[in-house]
Amino acid sequence: MRVYDQLEEITSELYNLVDAALEMRDFEDASLLQARADILYEQNEQMENLDIVILEHEG
């Protein structure tokens, strides 16, 4: 769970950086940061779903 929490924190920080880049009108950086944040968010969701499937299978 600690890894999920850290990944969630990193993703949140990336989204904060997206907002900061947009405020500075740095659209190129904002776009890149947004793409990376979205990828990490999706990976975290997939890992959580996999854990649920594993727990259900074991139980």
Own/partner contacts of 3-8, CB < 8 Å, gap of 24 or more, are: 4/44, 4/47, 4/48, 7/40, 7/43, 7/44, 7/47, 8/44
**Where do the structural domains in the chain lie, given as residue ranges?**
2-58
Instruction: Give the CA count within 13 Å in the CB-facing half-sphere of 30.
Output: 11
Q: What pLDDT, on the 0 to 100 scale, is given for residue 42?
A: 94
Q: What pLDDT, on the 0 to 100 scale, is given for residue 51?
A: 82
Instruction: Quick: pLDDT tens for 2-59.
Output: 888 899 999 999 999 999 999 999 999 999 999 999 999 999 888 888 888 888 888 7
Q: What pLDDT, on the 0 to 100 scale, is given for residue 57?
A: 85
